[in-house]
Amino acid sequence: MAKVLRSVKHAREAAVAGLAKHAAKDKKRYDRGRRTVEFKIGDQVLIHDPSRKVGICTKLRHRYKGPYRILERLSPVNYRINRPRAGERGEVVNVERLAPYYQRE
C-alpha cells in the first residue's frame, strides 16, 4: 500500500511541475502578442465591435464604434467609458478592445 501511495504522490508532483512549466510557456506566448497602451481620463477612443450581422458583409462593415470618452481607469487593463446605451455609470471595457481616436482635420 505504501508503495502505491508513493507512486501516486510522485505522479502528482510530476503533473504539477509539468502544468507549471506549460503555464509559464503559455503566458510568455500570450504576452508576446499584447501591447501596453495607457489612456488618460478624457481621451477619446474607439471600441472594437466583433459582432456579425446577418445580411451585412463583414469585409465592408466598420470594425470600430465611437468615439467615446474615457471616464475612469479601473485597473491597468480596464477602463470605464461613456457609452450612451450603458447609462450614467458607463461601460467597462478591456484595453485590448480600445483604439485611440484621432480627429480628422
Q: 100 forms bridges with which residues in the sheet?
A: 45
How does 10-36 read in b/e, with b if 16+ C-beta sit within 10 Å?
eeeeeeeeeeeeeeeeeeeeeeeeeee
pLDDT tens for the chain, 105 residues long, are: 888 889 999 999 999 999 999 999 999 998 887 778 899 999 999 999 888 888 888 888 888 998 999 999 999 899 999 877 766 678 899 998 999 999 888
Structure confidence at residue 105 (pLDDT): 80
Structure confidence at residue 86 (pLDDT): 61
All three cell numbers of 43, joined, read 481621451
This model's pTM is above 0.85: no
DSSP characters over the chain: -HHHHHHHHHHHHHHHHHHHHHHHHHHHHHHHT-------TT-EEEEE-----TTS-TTTS-SEEEEEEEEEE-SSSEEEE--GGG-TT-EEEEGGGEEE-----
CATH fold of 44-100, please?
A: SH3 type barrels. (2.30.30)
